[in-house]
Structure 1
Amino acid sequence: MPTIFEGAGVALITPFLEDGSVNYKKLEELIEEQISEGTDAIISCGTTGEVSTLTHDEQLTVIKETIKIVDKRVPVIAGTGSNCTKTAVMLSKKAQSYGADGLLIVSPYYNKATQGGLIAHYTKIAENVDIPILLYNIPGRAGIALAPETIAYLVKNVKNIVGVKEAGGDISVTAKIFRLCRDTVIDVYSGNDDQNVAIMALGGKGAISVLSNIAPKKTSIMCHEAIDGNIKEAARLQLEALDVINNLFIEVNPIPVKAAMNLLGKEVGKLRLPLTYMEKEHLSILEESMKEYGLL
């Protein structure tokens, strides 16, 4: 299957109204900004989109509206993972029916499946859809890691599993994935903004970025410099952004990025419990780094 996208994909936040419901008007504004600033793909209902506190109806509506707003201008990748395989199949089939260009499916959280269970889980989902699937390896959230050998097996043996969003944080693990897949095509995307350039230097196709929510043009330029082989310049841009990147994770994502967007006047609303507002001390640190990065 062809690569879904190259460059910078935004792990888009979900904006809320004061009453806590989804703000679809604001969602449209954010998507239009991302596309106009050069973002290469929209990732809907991932971790940054607070999918864990959306109902299934809300999740599917956000995905459907995102696809409608984007209108094929860039690829839309829908987050349809679940720790219940049957639920993930249902969500994935719905997203495909709406016109999603790809799926991002997180490894099943809480259950702590074996590697064999992970293979069975992802294979079952893939058998029920025809569009490309990206595995989402985020052991810090899921409680279990997709082993490099498991990732390689799935990419080699399941035709529509095309790659992985790698958010494990260990660049050596990412290197091993590339090594195991050296004789096959695999699309690897950075899932941690502080490793974007390093992963692309190893052969990654881009990033699924939190930073892009507040700095879409800067993130896109960084990613394309890396993809084009201008690693020295890409590294300069990566290091320039590093303080902001680190402070976007000074508290659990997406608390800081929503705070940052509100500092920029985007009025994306609050978070759903159990996530809460940033501590004042952390907010000040984030704000200062945004000023130094030229965002404020």
Structure 2
Amino acid sequence: MECNYITPAITAFDENRQLDKDALVNLYDHLIGGGVDGILILGSIGEFFSIPLEDKKELIRLAVRHIDHRTKVLVGTASMDVNETIELSKYACEQGADGIIVVSPYYFSLNDESIEEYYDLVAKECPGDLYLYNFPDRTGYDLSPDVALKLLRKHKNIAGYKDTLPGMDHTRELIKLIKPEFPEFKIYSGFDDNFAHNVLSGGDGCIAGLSNLVPELCSSWVRAFKANDFDLIAGIQRRIDQLMDIYQVGKPFVPYIKKAMLLKGIPVKDYCSFPLPVANEAQISKLEEILKKTDVI
């Protein structure tokens, strides 16, 4: 079975909350060495919401040039200002990104007509592949399968959809509605533990955060599917299910993913954008327990 595991990369910061370029290139090499099928920068786990526009452009330049076609590069270009989204989308494509991914505007809930109008404008202005991004816990509303299908029928550059929901009900309906008409359209889940269910349902895999920590495990899951090795698929599912406990150590989960990476020995620091928290001793102990139980450390 064909499938992909794409890493929504964390953004490495230094103690002054500036981009840590050395750590970023180390991270990209770590992910590529781990065999992931692509790297998404400036996603939700990449703290796009708190990074100034010029720093985003600097990060895009760094990532595209350093990764240098060794794996696929996607860029999150979402902003509350649609003009900034369009500017950054054009910039990312001009720099050589393989596509951009856009979560719809948050803060106010939008109706289907407004969502469709928003993506209509972005798709018309985007010179490359556009991936839709549904994250109802953050936007307060759903980018429905019906709206996605309407957009696909109008815009050939809409290439995929990331569906970040804890279950598979919504993603399954998306697959059932869209794949018969657009079989090449990529439908990804946003939570790691949905990878196998997504692929078995006819989707394309995951864009999910644990692959920052265990890219080699996630890429081996892809290989297991391609080899139809269902014993290995089931075994990896059980390890991922245990690793999902990292997401529950604290809120939001980003600092704890970073701390887990640091505990594993990955050469990044655990600084985050303000006011995201820092893991305390009890939380570090919990992370160590999870990582030892799953043979990560």
Same fold by TM-score greater than 0.5: yes
Report matched runs for 1:18-29 at 5 Å: 18-29=15-26
SS, match of residue 86 in structure 1? helix
SS, match of residue 102 in structure 2? strand
Structure 2: state its 5+ residue gaps: none
TM-score by length of 1: 0.93
Range with greater deviation from structure 2 (268-277 or 62-71)? 268-277
SS, match of residue 235 in structure 1? helix
Q: Is the counterpart of residue 263 in structure 1 residue 263 in structure 2? A: yes
- Give the Cα separation in 1 of the matches to 2:3 and 2:99: 13
Q: Is the counterpart of residue 70 in structure 1 residue 71 in structure 2? A: no
CA contact (8 A) 2:167 2:194 kept: no
Range with greater deviation from structure 2 (245-254 or 142-151)? 245-254
Query: What is the CA deviation profile of residues 228-273 of structure 1, one whole-angstrom value per residue up to 9, with x for unaligned ones?
Result: 5444532321112212123234322312101111212323231111
- Give the Cα separation in 2 of the matches to 1:180 and 1:228: 28
CA contact (8 A) 2:189 2:207 kept: yes
Q: Is the counterpart of residue 167 in structure 1 residue 164 in structure 2? A: yes
For the aligned residues, what is the CA RMSD?
1.7
CA contact (8 A) 1:201 1:226 kept: no
In the alignment, what sits opposite 2:196? 197
SS, match of residue 248 in structure 1? helix
In the alignment, what sits opposite 2:243? 244
CA contact (8 A) 2:255 2:270 kept: no
What letter corresponds to residue 234 of structure 2 in structure 1?
A
- Give the Cα separation in 1 of the matches to 2:91 and 2:108: 24
Q: Is the counterpart of residue 118 in structure 1 residue 119 in structure 2? A: no
Shift of 1:225: 2.2
- Give the Cα separation in 2 of the matches to 1:225 and 1:184: 26
Shift of 1:290: 0.6
What letter corresponds to residue 272 of structure 2 in structure 1?
L
Range with greater deviation from structure 2 (110-119 or 65-74)? 110-119
- Give the Cα separation in 2 of the matches to 1:239 and 1:101: 32
In the alignment, what sits opposite 1:235? 234
Report matched runs for 1:1-296 at 5 Å: 6-181=3-178, 182-185=180-183, 186-226=185-225, 228-251=227-250, 252-265=252-265, 266-296=267-297
- Give the Cα separation in 1 of the matches to 2:268 and 2:101: 27
- Aligned pairs, how many? 292
Range with greater deviation from structure 2 (84-93 or 221-230)? 221-230
- Give the Cα separation in 2 of the matches to 1:152 and 1:291: 44
CA contact (8 A) 1:105 1:133 kept: yes
- Give the Cα separation in 1 of the matches to 2:137 and 2:150: 22
CA contact (8 A) 2:246 2:256 kept: yes
TM-score by length of 2: 0.93
What letter corresponds to residue 270 of structure 1 in structure 2?
Y
Shift of 1:281: 2.7
Structure 1: state its 5+ residue gaps: none
Of all paired residues, the percent bearing the same amino acid is 27
- Give the Cα separation in 2 of the matches to 1:288 and 1:55: 36
Shift of 1:104: 1.0
